[in-house]
Amino acid sequence: MKTALIHSDQYSRFDYGPEHPLRMERLGLTWRLMEAYGLTALPQAKVLAPDPADEAVLARFHTREYLEVLKAVSAGLQVPGAARHGLGFGDNPIFPGVWEVSRLIAGGSLLAAKLVADGEVERAFHFAGGLHHAMPDRASGFCYIDDPVLAILSLRERGWRVAYVDIDAHHGDGVQFAFYRDPEVLTISTHERGDRLFPGTGFVEELGEGAGHGYSVNLPLEPFTDDEVYAEGFEAIVPPLLRAFRPDVVVAQLGIDSHLTDPLTHLAFSVQGFALTVKRIAWLAPRLVALGGGGYDLPNVARAWTAAWAIMNGIELSSDLPAQARQELARFGFSDGSLWDPLAELPPDLRRRAQEYCRRQVEAIRRTIFPLHGLA
Ligand SMILES: [Zn+2]
């Protein structure tokens, strides 16, 4: 199995600001954990740094006006109307180089897609990517340029059928929006329910429109959904739909803000539960373009994406974290020496509620979407 890992040490030059939950340092932390496990020098894996995406490529999804504004504010210019594009407050701060880093991240996801499309590798992982909330004319949810959309568009240009599987705790709304009318792109997003969490969308009823009716799939989840409840819902929905759709490639958004200790969300996954899901996706995908996503408890991010990259290469990792990584993770408050999490026991009533909710959503998907794909 030939694989590719896409990473740039330039990412650490950029910073959303001291109060912002998205810490760019999570990427270096992840890289160094991979390195400590020997995963950055594998014989079958290319390791490549991206070039920034061309502006013309960004314009395949984003409006010219938005791109001009993003470029200007990034250079420190005052632009009246920047707020209309979601820029400059709260979630989407204007920081120096936001234009450059957004282009670089887009370039990384496009490179991952190209390597897979050219047949150079079967699986590629760009863990800085997966910024799934950005819309054509505005930044949203820490995302300025929608790299998953651009990667999928580049695969569509090759005539490929693309399945997008998004397991971030938040709904993949930007990607769903981009392909809402396209039956050649099946989008599946599992996430904490939209009436409890940003961005407020991602209900089962959002099925797609026109020719794309039935090609937009959402599995919303109750707070405290854990590995076991999730696995049941995932297995009921994702494998049958992927088998029926028969994609040429799967683009996966692997956000790990679904973790029990993530400060922004209320799901209850463990790193080992996340890893099992990644294993299923990798196994179901004929070819895989994997991206990162959310993740705001940094040691979780490093452990989860390291485990994901090992899975993509068919490698079993020792659960004992390498000594140097242990020290570094301890600086972020992670004192446990294991790649995996201890078993968490949730209160039974919370678990039951999460399970009942998940089963109801699965039933609704089976009733409304399955028949559109010839599934009973
Ligand atoms: Zn998220």
pLDDT tens profile 83-133 = 999 999 789 999 999 999 999 999 999 999 999 999 999 999 999 999 999
d(Cα 77, Cα 60) in Å, to the nearest integer? 25
Instruction: DSSP letter for 169, please.
Output: S
**Ligand 1 mean position, distance from CA 36 (Å):** 27
Using the mean position of ligand 1's atoms as its centre, give its distance from the Cα of residue 143 in Å: 10
The predicted model gives 353-360 an average pLDDT of: 98
Active site residue 133: yes
Percent of residues, the chain, with pLDDT higher than 70: 100
Name the active-site residue from 133, 170, 171, 266.
133
- In the chain, which ranges are E strands? 3-6, 45-48, 123-126, 162-166, 185-192, 216-221, 249-253, 288-291
**Reported confidence tier of residue 214, pLDDT bands at 50, 70, 90:** very high
Distance 330 CA to ligand 1 centre (A): 24
For residue 376, how far is its CA from the centre of ligand 1 (angstroms)? Answer: 32
| Sequential DSSP letters for 338-355 | BSSPPP-PPPHHHHHHHH
What pLDDT does residue 376 have? 80
Tokens 């968490």 correspond to 344
Above pLDDT 90, what percent of the chain? Answer: 98
Phi, psi at 305, each rounded to 5° = -75, -30
Residue ranges with CB less than 5 Å from ion ligand 1: 168-170, 255, 257, 294
pLDDT digits (tens, 9 = 90+) for 132-170: 999 999 999 999 999 999 999 999 999 999 999 999 999
What is the mean pLDDT of the segment spanning 180-208?
98
Is 90 exceeded by the pLDDT of residue 322? yes
- CA 130 – ligand 1 centroid, Å: 9
What's the residue count for the chain?
376
Q: What is the pLDDT of residue 89?
A: 76
